[in-house]
Structure 1
Amino acid sequence: MKFTKMHGLGNDFIVIDGFKEDISIIEKKAKILCDRHFGIGADGILILLPSDIADLKMRIINSDGSEATMCGNGIRCFALYAYTRKIVNKKKMEIETLAGIIKPEIIVNKDIVEAVKVDMGHYSLLKEDIPMQGNTKEEAVDFDLIVDNSSFKATAVSMGNPHCIIFTEDVESIQLEGLGPKIENHPYFPKRTNVEFVEVISDSQLKMKVWERGAGITLACGTGACASAVAAHKKGLVKDKVTVKLPGGDLFIEIMEDKKVFMTGPAKEVFSGELELSYL
C-alpha cells in the first residue's frame, strides 16, 4: 500500500489514495498504522475517495480506529495532496466530509504554495448540535463542568465536530494528559468531545492546548482553534480576527457575522512510502 505522510503544524496524517489502494483494512489496522514505534506513526489517517456532490470525499480515521466527522489540519493536508497531484485541477475546491461540504483554497505565491485557507462552514453553540445532554435548545456557554471534584466554567462549540473549551490564566500549568480523557468521555457529551484549554493573550491572540477525541494530545487542531476563537469571541474576549498559537505553530481564524469561520494555515508533505501489507 502506497502512502504519503503529511502534517499541519505537527498534527500529522497518513494520506492514502482510495482511488488506487485497497482501503478495506484501514479501520481495523488504524492503531498499528498510526503507532509511532510499530507503524508509520500519525495522529490519524486521511483517505481520498470519489464524491457525487463535491470534488472529492475525505474520510478521517483517528489513531484509535474511530472515524472523525471533520479535521481542520487534515483538510489542509488533504487539499494540498489533491492539488499537487492534480487530482483536483483548481485552487478552490469542495470536499465532502461527514460534517458537510468544506471549501479549502490553495494560496499560491510565485508558484509556491504558501498556505491553505479553508471555509470551515458555520459554527453552533447549541447543545443539540454539539451534541450535549440537557436542554438541547440552549447555548452551551459558561456551563459548570465537574471533573475529579474540580469545577470548570466551560463553553462547547460545534465546528461539525464537538469541542469543549475551558479558559485558563496559564495554559502551561494544565495537566492535559490527566484531564483530557476524562473530559472527552464526560457524560455531558454522548459522542465524546475534543478538549481545548485556552489562555487569552490579547484581543487578537489566543494560546491553546488540545486533547483530541480519538487521538489524545496533538500539536495542533484546526477545528479546535476555530472553536476556541468562537468561544472567546462569544464571551467578548477577542475580536473577529484571531491568531491562535498552538504547540505546533499558529493558525489565523476569521469569524464572520453569519457565523461562518475561515481558517488559514500551512500544510506540509514529509515523505512518501510503501507499506508491506503482510506486516499487518
Structure 2
Amino acid sequence: MQIPYTKVHGSRNDFILIDEAGRNWTDEERVQLALQVCRRDKGIGADGILFVSDSETADGKMRVFNADGSEASMCGNGLRCVARYLIEKLGKEELEVETMKATLSVRKEAEIFPGIPTFAVEISPVSFKTSDLPIYVNQDVVINEVIFEIHPERKWSALAVPNPHLITVVEGNIIKSDEQKEIAEYLNGENPICPDGVNVSYVVPLSEENIFVKTYERGVGFTNACGTAMSASTFITCQLGLNRWGNKINVYNPGGKVQCVATNSGEHASIQLIGNATYEHQGTIHWDQGINFQIHKVFKDEEEAYQKLEENIAAVLAF
C-alpha cells in the first residue's frame, strides 16, 4: 500500500498528515499505522497522525491518533496544520472542520513572523465540570485550588476544551525540577484520580500578556507544544486575572510561540489559537510487511523561517 503524506508541525508539535480520500480504513488500521510510522527510531517520527477526510457537515474532518495509538478528541496544533491543508486544497480563506466533539472555524491569518504560514483556529467547547475530564475529586469545579491527592500545596485548575487539562501557575524555577514529570506520569498511569489520563501544564507568567507553557500530553509525554493546553492555559490566566479577556496573549513554549485570545461571555466560552502551520516535507509511505518511506520534497524555506522565529524568542525564555 502506498500512502502519500505531509510531515507538518505546529510549534514543533509534529505530525504526519494523511488525506484519506479514496480510502476506507478501519480504526485498527489507523492505530497500527500510528504505532509504526510515529516511531522516531524506525518510522518517520511524529507525535501523532492527522487523518483528513470528507465531512457531511463541514469542509473537512480531522481525526487525531497519538503516537501510542490512542485517539485524541482535539488537537489545536494539529488543527492549524489541517486548516492550512484544507484551505490550500479548497482555495478558501476560511472554513469549518469537523472534529470529534465540535465543528470548528478556522481561517488564514496574518503571519506571526515573516515567512511563516499562520492560521487561526477555534478551540471549544470549554467546560469546567470535573465530570467532563473526568477527574475524580469531591468538587464539581476546580479553579485554582489545592488537590491534596496530587500535591499538598500546588493549586490546580481543571477544564476540558474538550481535551482534559490540569493547569497550575508556577515560578520559572519550578519548570527545571522533576515535579511536573512525576505528577504527570502518575496521573497518566493507573491512578484513581484521572483514570483516562490528563494533560498536565505548568504555566509561568512572564509579563503582562506574555506566558510560558510546558505540557505533558496524555498519550505522548512531554511535547514541544500542545495547542489545546496553551489555549486552556490562556483561559485560566484570564480567569485568575493575570491576563485580560479578549486580548491577544503571547504564549511561549519549548517549540516556539503562538498567540491566544480567550473570551467568556458567561453563556459561551472559547479561545482563538493563532500560530504556525509549517510543512517539513512530503513523501510516500510504503506499508506492506513493514513500514518504509520516501521523501519527495523538502520545505527548506519554511524550516529556515521557523528557525529565525526560535532565535528571535530565545531571549524571552531566560529561565
1:74 CA drift (Å): 0.2
Of 272, 277, 280 in structure 1, the residue corresponding to residue 282 of structure 2 is 272
* Structure 2 counterpart SS, 1:191: coil
Identity over aligned pairs, percent: 31
Unmatched segments (≥5 aa) in structure 1: none
Of 115, 120, 132 in structure 2, the residue corresponding to residue 117 of structure 1 is 120
Q: Deviations over 1:142-197 (max 9, x none)?
A: 23234677542111111111000011112432324433221334432232111101
Partner of 1:75: 79
> Aligned equivalents of 2:143 and 2:68: distance in 1?
30
Partner of 2:196: 191
Which 10-residue stretch deviates more, 230-239 or 8-17? 230-239
> Aligned equivalents of 2:105 and 2:270: distance in 1?
12
Q: Residue 47 of structure 2 aligns to which amino acid in structure 1?
A: D
Partner of 1:142: 144
> Aligned equivalents of 2:150 and 2:87: distance in 1?
47
Query: Does the aligned pair in 2 maintain the 1:127–1:135 contact within 8 Å?
Result: no
Q: Compared with structure 1, are the counterparts of its residues 21 and 190 closer, same or farther at alpha carbon in structure 2 (3 Å cutoff)?
A: same
Which 10-residue stretch deviates more, 98-107 or 42-51? 98-107
Q: Deviations over 1:117-158 (max 9, x none)?
A: 11223422221222222456x321123234677542111111
1:94 CA drift (Å): 0.7
Q: Residue 26 of structure 1 aligns to which amino acid in structure 2?
A: R
Q: Compared with structure 1, are the counterparts of its residues 216 and 158 closer, same or farther at alpha carbon in structure 2 (3 Å cutoff)?
A: same
Partner of 1:18: 20
Of 177, 180, 185 in structure 2, the residue corresponding to residue 181 of structure 1 is 185
Q: Residue 263 of structure 1 aligns to which amino acid in structure 2?
A: L
TM-score (norm 2): 0.80
Q: Deviations over 1:199-230 (max 9, x none)?
A: 11123111111111111111011100011111
Query: Does the aligned pair in 2 maintain the 1:2–1:21 contact within 8 Å?
Result: no
Query: Does the aligned pair in 1 maintain the 2:188–2:195 contact within 8 Å?
Result: no
Of 139, 145, 155 in structure 2, the residue corresponding to residue 153 of structure 1 is 155
* Structure 2 counterpart SS, 1:236: coil
**1:31-70 equivalent positions in 2, closer than 5 A:** 31-70=35-74
Q: Compared with structure 1, are the counterparts of its residues 3 and 133 closer, same or farther at alpha carbon in structure 2 (3 Å cutoff)?
A: same
Partner of 2:106: 104
> Aligned equivalents of 1:55 and 1:135: distance in 2?
41
Which 10-residue stretch deviates more, 268-277 or 61-70? 268-277
- State yes or no: 1:216 paired with 2:226: no
Q: Residue 80 of structure 1 aligns to which amino acid in structure 2?
A: R
Q: How many residues align?
A: 275
Structure number with higher helix proportion: 2
Q: Residue 39 of structure 1 aligns to which amino acid in structure 2?
A: G
- State yes or no: 1:95 paired with 2:102: no
Unmatched segments (≥5 aa) in structure 2: 292-319
Q: Compared with structure 1, are the counterparts of its residues 134 and 178 closer, same or farther at alpha carbon in structure 2 (3 Å cutoff)?
A: closer
- CA RMSD in angstroms comes to 2.1
TM-score (norm 1): 0.91
* Structure 1 counterpart SS, 2:92: coil
Q: Residue 141 of structure 1 aligns to which amino acid in structure 2?
A: I
Query: Does the aligned pair in 1 maintain the 2:21–2:53 contact within 8 Å?
Result: yes
Which 10-residue stretch deviates more, 224-233 or 255-264? 255-264
> Aligned equivalents of 2:137 and 2:235: distance in 1?
21
Q: Deviations over 1:240-270 (max 9, x none)?
A: 2221110111111111132221111111011
> Aligned equivalents of 2:167 and 2:110: distance in 1?
33
Query: Does the aligned pair in 2 maintain the 1:106–1:113 contact within 8 Å?
Result: no
